[in-house]
A = this chain, B = another copy of it.
Amino acid sequence: MILRIDRWQTELPPPSTPDPAGAATVQELMGGKFGEMSTLMNYTFQSFNYRFRQGTRPFYDLIANIAAEEYGHIELVAATINTMLTGVDIRDVESEAYKHHYNFGGKGALPADSHGTPWTGDYVHSSGDLVEDLTHNYFLETGARSGKLRVYEMCDHPAARALTGYLLVRGGVHQVAYARALEKLTGADMSKLFPSPRIPTAKIPECQPHIEAGEHKKLYRFSPEDYREVIAVFNGPHPETGEDLEVVDHAPEGFPPQDLPPETDVFAPDYAPEEIAEIAQKLRKAAGLPDKVTGIVANDDDGLVSKVKDKLS
């Protein structure tokens, strides 16, 4: 089971120029074959189905723990898409191909790829055979890295760039982790396969802050008590830089999410959101909650709620 924490693993910029076509491109990183839904669900199912955990714990812990981090990645991709869709005027996007963002969803991320094709469980490989599943995971991260690189190239919206800069670094860690697990199991040396695709992450400007923070060599432990045995696999030199790989014994602190404004032309969250706000306020009072909303968001310091209400009224 999980505990959920309302924080983002990295910072994303607030909405700026809407970018409907870019948001469609970024959907590939959500629901495409190599999107974050795929990494999340592959590792999640592999961990659920993992047999003989006690006998082979370090490998189980590795997969289960990376699965936990991936949840945060689908959250980031969704946030990026939502940011890019904020402010789109649906009367102006007739020629935009990704119509589901407007006539089906509500300017929100969908579990679908850049053509609108839904993510499917068909993308999950959970064979039960450990070497096979790890081989798959190494390949999946390779394909995912490729996808991120291309979306990076195609979209220059600041949110898309912040997203891909971060995910390239973190995906790279997972790619290393699965290769290392294979090496530990078989004795092979896969280091020279890196980087794959063969462009070093270090050449991408938006990756720099994360590399400087050492994010390219750290595996966080996303659990209060479990997955302690990842250290038995995730160690040794980083295949590209030679630096020591490192297990961080807790989750990253994270960043408060942006609270995105209502989009009334798609009724999100309503045609008249201020009415819901009013109802919410009454319910909160009746429940004895404090006057100030308990949720923490990045853009709360100067009263988004009242501003939105003002703007709406």
Contact = CB atoms under 8 A, between A and B. Distances in A.
For chain A, the bracket of interface size reads: 35 or more
Interface in A248-282: 251-252, 254, 259-263, 265-277, 279-280
Number of copies: 6
A95 B117 CA distance: 18
A208 interface: no
A103 B109 contact: no
Contact of A269 (B79, B130, B222, B304): B130
A206 to B, nearest CB: 15
Contacts of A267: 127-129, 132, 146, 149, 197-199
Interface in A44-61: 44-45, 48-61
A266 B128 contact: yes
Given A93-B154, A99-B28, A71 B2 contact: yes
Interface string A113-137: 1111111111011111111100110
A202 to B, nearest CB: 13
B93 A6 contact: no
